[in-house]
Amino acid sequence: MPGNSFGTLFRVMTFGESHGPALGCLIDGCPAGLLLETEDIAAELRRRRPPGGEGASTGRNEGDEPEILSGVFEGRSLGTPIAIVIRNRDQHSQDYDELREVYRPGHADWTWEAKFGRRDHRGGGRSSGRETVARVAAGAVAKVFLKTSNAVIRSWVSSIAGIDIPGPEKPGFDIEETEKNPFRVPRSDYVKELREKIESLRASGDSAGGIVTVSVTGLPPGLGEPVFDKVSAGLAHAALSLGGCKGVEFGSGFAAAFRTGSQNNDTITARPADAEANLANSTEQKTKFSAFAANNAGGSLGGISTGEEILFRAAFKPVASIGKIQKTVDTSGRARELSVQGRHDICIAPRAAPVLEAMTALVLADLILLHRADRI
């Protein structure tokens, strides 16, 4: 099918160009009976704008206000499609007139035209990062659904502009801090250094890459569809569907390629005898009595969730729009020089974090529903 849909049972289709009338999504398959209000979506949309001022992102106030057009009645989901629309405004489309005839390096301008024979040059059209507004709106609904399963999705920036931010394994990690600083790093003591680094890049008309880590706790074991739709495969698909994402790794990830089996296998541990006394026969209860110690697996084995934390990292390339002069070609194939004007993000990672959460929520909501059909 065409690529603007995602999921099987919790199925989302998104739409919208950066400078068209509106963006939005349609969710087909959200179960009936879910308590849902516009503010659930608005709150996630606000998170697309990093907290605490400018940081690595543009100062543009997108001020997105979602409207629910269907699927909710008297405060609960009906089981029918939930349509959410977010109007565009303050578009300044004429700012993009120069781009009508030139291809920006690192952007989809050229490939989009090679595919469709035409493109909306205004702000990248549908290949713009603004497209993620619709993902976040859909993911917000998935998050509300996931709450009924006790799953919690969190994310943080773990590397930005060449600076690695230590993870939970070192003292001082504070997940709440990610909602307070504009870089979404979980450590306040890194903020000053990052601010200087980013401002220096901005001054030189350059940009930077970064890495986002996503954690999901509270999931039941048994999620994921063998063979092709492993939970890790679905999340990798989701992450790489984001513009600028160039890699993803689960648990020990690329480092696992440099380990031995005895180093990397997660020991399965039994509980002490007194706990064992309570051991009942059902699968559900057994999950409470064993654990995968080191979680090098990142929460799945054979692509099916273990019940441990799902943990993955997604790498984002530097923002392609830079002020520095770049060589490129125009639509007639002739050489051109281009300096991308306007206010652009310096690093996309802080804004990508809530989008990755949204995509993660969509993948997991779908797998939870699919899991209901696993047994007679």
**What b/e readout covers 296-324, taking b as 16+ CB neighbours within 10 angstroms?**
bbbbbbebbbbbbbbbbbbbbbbbbbbbe
- Asked if residue 359 lies in contact with residue 139, where contact means CB atoms within 8 angstroms, the answer is yes
Count residues binding its own copies (CB under 8 A).
165
Distance CA 96, CA 329 (A): 16
Beta bridge partners of 305: 300
Cα–Cα distance measured from residue 182 to residue 351, given in angstroms and rounded to the nearest whole number? 9
- Give, as ranges, the residues between 169 and 198 that touch its own copies (CB under 8 A): none
- Under the binding rule (CB under 8 A), the answer on residue 136 touching its own copies is no
Residue number with CB closer to its own copies (266 or 309): 266
Residue 16 within binding range of its own copies, rule CB under 8 A = yes
Q: Name which position in 123, 139, 182, 298 contacts its own copies (CB under 8 A).
A: 298
Scan residues 69-88 and list those touching its own copies (CB under 8 A). 69-71, 73, 76-83, 85
Question: Strand 304-305 relative to strand 210-217: parallel, antiparallel, unpaired?
Answer: unpaired
CA distance 31 to 33: 7
Please pick, from the candidates 51, 52, 62, 68, the single residue that binds its own copies as defined by CB under 8 A.
Answer: 68
DSSP 18: T
Window 141-160: residues binding its own copies (CB under 8 A): 145, 148, 159
The span from the CA of 168 to the CA of 215, in Å, is: 11
CB of 75 to its own copies, least distance (A): 11
State the minimum distance, in angstroms, from the CB of residue 169 to its own copies.
18
Shortest spacing between CB 175 and its own copies, in angstroms: 21
For the chain, give the longest Cα–Cα distance. Answer: 77
The residues in 29-58 that bind its own copies, with binding defined as CB under 8 A, are 29, 31-34
Position 264 contacts its own copies (CB under 8 A): yes
Among 51, 52, 105, 168, binds its own copies (CB under 8 A): 105
Closest contact distance (angstroms) between CB of 172 and its own copies is 22
